[in-house]
Structure 1
Amino acid sequence: MTTEPLAPTVLDVTGMVVHAGHVLNTRLAAALAVIDVSPRNYCVLVHAVDRDLTQAQVAELSDLDKTTMVVTMDELERAGLAERRPAPSDRRARIVVVTDAGRDLIRAGRGIVDGVHDEVLGTLPEDERAVFLSALSRLVGGVLAKPVESEVNVRRARTPKR
């Protein structure tokens, strides 16, 4: 009987991307805590501001499921950062409207988010940054744009509770 080596012989692209995304999200969460907002809430505000989008459309842009979007909007409304208003074309749908307080938070958060991104990208040599961002954009705009159907339920990485 021959024994075939089973140890990985190539880089674990999935593991690296999942790990990088998780660590980047934790860095972003820590940085945005200064202005008392989560990355998820900030993401929803940024996608909704200055656009007449329904809650479902903002959820899709923010990559959130329906239940998480409802919880997020409840949080944003309680904080006075956004409101849900009836859509003129469909009374069952709700338009997400960012309040003045939400707009102020976006302004404050923009520098924080840019700073985290600059810090992370700054670890790459300058000539590699544009190549990395271009390749990543092509991947998430192409083959990695949408999840595929699977009989196996794939869950997102869990964020530990504090």
Structure 2
Amino acid sequence: MNHCSIVIDRSPERTWAELEAEYGAGIGFARAGYKLEALNEPAFPLGGYRLWREQNGGIDERICRITEREASAMRISMRADYLSPDARNMTVFTTFQALRAGATAEFHLDCHSTFDLDVGANASRDDVARAVVQLGDHFDRGIAQGVSRLKARIEAASAAE
């Protein structure tokens, strides 16, 4: 489980609109060089998209499905299935939410994932625990960097208006 929260110096409504565009429409991924293709799956009526880009000599490919979109709570939840061979069958469940913090927004990101853990067949419980902690730390750093970039972009775009 990973959690990150940060105050964004913009209104919660503005922050929510940016979250909807960034994750609900996938604009943030397109900005990062991914190609997007909208999904039309009856089992996921809130929508989603397939995204991919070449990266490090391979393809980073994911299917992102919106599982919750609650405008009144300024919250969107997604499931991302990572399809690349080196992704270890990873599935990530993430919730993004903008909460009112006075005149500003408090942005929350909560996620958990499942994946094939790369440890030897004879790994001890301690080996597995160490590998889980190391991956959790890796994910925490990546999430914190991504959230910091999102904060800077939202604040800069809003200030330019």
Query: Structure with the greater relative contact order (CA < 8 A, sep ≥ 6): 1 or 2?
Result: 2
Q: Which has the larger radius of gyration?
A: 1
TM-score under structure 1 normalisation? 0.26
- State TM-score, norm by structure 2: 0.26
Which structure has more strand as a fraction of its residues?
2
